A and B are shown apart, each in its own frame.
Chain A
Amino acid sequence: MLFSQIAFYVLAVIAVASALGVVLNRNAVYSMLSLILNLLSLALFFLLLGGLFIATIQVLIYAGAVMVLFLFVVTMLTPGGQAPQGDDPLRWQWGAGIGMGAILVGALVWAGFTGAISSDAKAAGVSSLTSAIAAFGGNTEAFGMALFHGYSFPFEITGLLLVVAALGAVTLGRRPTHADE
């Protein structure tokens, strides 16, 4: 238990520091790098909880694919690594952000101390994960059984939604050809 506790606290510090780095950096590329670090530490949190498959997917999809596209755009817009100079044009965002962050922290603390997230529920979650992994012979197998036997309809609907979104992006981004004129 000790190992996972130490790992949790180390990861927690990294996750919070990198999350702060995302919002406090003035250079967009450094913000991006902080966000990647944050996503990687989230993947390690999944790993600590025993979700090997989810952790790998987190790295593959978010750190490996989504953030690469972000980086693609950001590096093109801010070549040479210069941070924008001058005053922040959106000062009011600071107040709004701090206010909403305080509300979130308050809600989490309230939930944690009043028992809305009980330790029983957490234990039940962990034991159901462990038993599912044991029943189906592995992390991937347990995930596949849950996805295709419990949630196959929502899964397919989500797939359709993503295809529609991709088609929409292609249609909007298409240059008019001679045939259209």
Chain B
Amino acid sequence: MSDLAWFLVGALVKSIIAIVALLTAFAYMTLIERRVIARFQRRVGPNRAGPFGVFQPVADALKMAFKEEILPTRASRLVFLIAPAISVVVALTAFAVVPLGGPTAWGNSSIARAWAPYVADLNVGVLYIFAIASLAVYGIVLAGWSSGNHYSLLGALRSAAQMVSYEVSITLAIAGVLMFAGTLNMVGIVQAQAHQGIWFILAQPLGFLLYGIAAVAEVNRAPFDLPEAEQELVAGYLTEFSGLRWSLFQMAEYINMITASSVVVTLFFGGWTLGSLDGVFGLPFIWYFIKVAVFLFIFIWLRATLPRIRYDQLMRFGWQVLLPLSVLNALVTAAVVAYGLPWWVSGAIGLAILLIVAGAFYATARRSQPKAKRGAGQVMAAPTSVRLVADAPLPRSVDESQTTSVSASAGVK
């Protein structure tokens, strides 16, 4: 067979493996997320189907498959049917350039290189991911519009506004990494980190944080899950979807989460590289998967910890905080790279900016808090309604009026 034919066969087989792996990862991410969130909330979580609930995804899939698929009368039929597919296809396509290992992961022969653990090694890798990810908004907007339901439409439009706003910051936030790496190629960025002997988070702490926040907003996860805010919009663009079509949207969300985590690991945490242990068979993969798993856990952790923010807060934060900081970070990095300064200069400046901004946030949050509630020795206690049974009983000094005022002050912005 010719080289081209081998290349096509390789790309096809690797794509199928990637798709199957991503779908399996999605199924188990739903289980892990439910179990982890249950732990956060002092519950047990799904543990009935098989040991530790490992067959729960199978049960869920069967349930979804046998649910009735409802097509609303006012729906725009064709678009309603293809919108979930657009979401999933886009999510899967973006993963194609994510490198799970180096070009010589299986050895140095030409056949081993043809089967390197990524589907494609594009010169414009990072741009490709952002180009494909920017299409993800179509799945959501078309789903909302074609449902013929005002709540769906509002959720979809929110999502469109949110994703377009945060896309600007996300691209500027990684500009610093691209300047240090000098390439857009995903494999090249990892190799640049190995070559310079650092993980780019050390040179780009601010860029990492900005990318992290914007990425959570991009994949519409809590605390940025405004498109499906149930107290305002029922379930947003998902309202009219049921059964398998609904789970396709869930699938897209989790796959986007996995892609975002992989991009963080590749851009800021050195990808699969292990230094002198690179040659050990299989070890770089495990190292890479551990790093991705940590970020997936952080996604779940954020969802369990943070309340959803308001829509105007979301927009103001995106345009007035995130975007100026991304521009500042890009400018500082450009100066450091242009004048040939060592990497720790941009790292130190980034940390300083981070401290100043965090200080400013802390100061405003403190100022807006009522003065009397800041006294030393104040007993903070949750109101009876949210106290857990397992908690220690309330201290005697706290009377009812104090508890209510404490809970009220938490709601003051």
Contacts and interface: CB of A to CB of B under 8 A. Distances in A.
Contact of A57 (B127, B135, B138, B148): B127
A21 B146 CA distance: 19
Given A72-B161, A79-B148, A64 B131 contact: yes
B21 interface: no
Contacts of A71: 138, 141-142, 160
B184 A79 contact: no
B164 A79 contact: no
22 contacts: A29-B79, A36-B138, A53-B124, A57-B127, A59-B132, A63-B134, A64-B130, A64-B137, A64-B167, A69-B164, A72-B160, A72-B164, A75-B144, A76-B153, A76-B157, A79-B145, A80-B74, A81-B79, A81-B146, A138-B185, A140-B123, A140-B183
Contact of B134 (A3, A68, A140): A68
A146 B370 CA distance: 59
Nearest to A67: B138
Given A29-B145, A139-B124, A79 B153 contact: yes
Question: Which 7 pairs from chain A and chain B are nearest by CB?
Answer: A64-B134, A81-B76, A60-B131, A59-B131, A75-B145, A80-B148, A138-B123
B68 to A, nearest CB: 22
Contacts of A60: 127, 130-131, 134
A75 B135 contact: no
B343 interface: no
Given A56-B128, A68-B164, A72-B157, A63 B135 contact: yes
A81 B75 contact: yes
A53 B123 contact: yes
Contact of B135 (A33, A64, A79, A139): A64
B31 interface: no
Given A64-B134, A68-B141, A56 B79 contact: no
Nearest to A81: B76
A68 B79 contact: no
B150 interface: yes
A80 B144 CA distance: 9
A10 interface: no
B156 interface: yes
A80 B146 CA distance: 6
B144 A52 contact: no
A145 B74 CA distance: 53
Contacts of B167: 64-65
Interface string A35-66: 01000000000000000110011011001110
Nearest to A139: B123
B383 to A, nearest CB: 39
Contact of B164 (A33, A53, A65, A140): A65
A129 B212 CA distance: 37
Given A3-B4, A64-B167, A80-B74, 17 more contacts: A29-B76, A33-B79, A52-B123, A60-B134, A63-B131, A64-B137, A68-B141, A68-B160, A68-B163, A69-B164, A71-B138, A71-B160, A75-B153, A81-B79, A81-B146, A138-B183, A140-B127
Contacts of B164: 65, 68-69, 72
> Which residue of A29, A52, A57, A68 has the most chain B CB atoms within 10 A of its CB atom?
A68
Interface in A78-117: 79-81
Contacts of A81: 74-76, 79, 145-146, 148
Interface string B345-364: 00000000000000000000
B122 interface: yes
Contacts of A59: 131-132, 134-135
A33 B130 CA distance: 20
Contacts of B128: 56
A64 B157 CA distance: 15
Nearest to A43: B131
> Which residue of A3, A69, A71, A139 has the most chain B CB atoms within 10 A of its CB atom?
A71
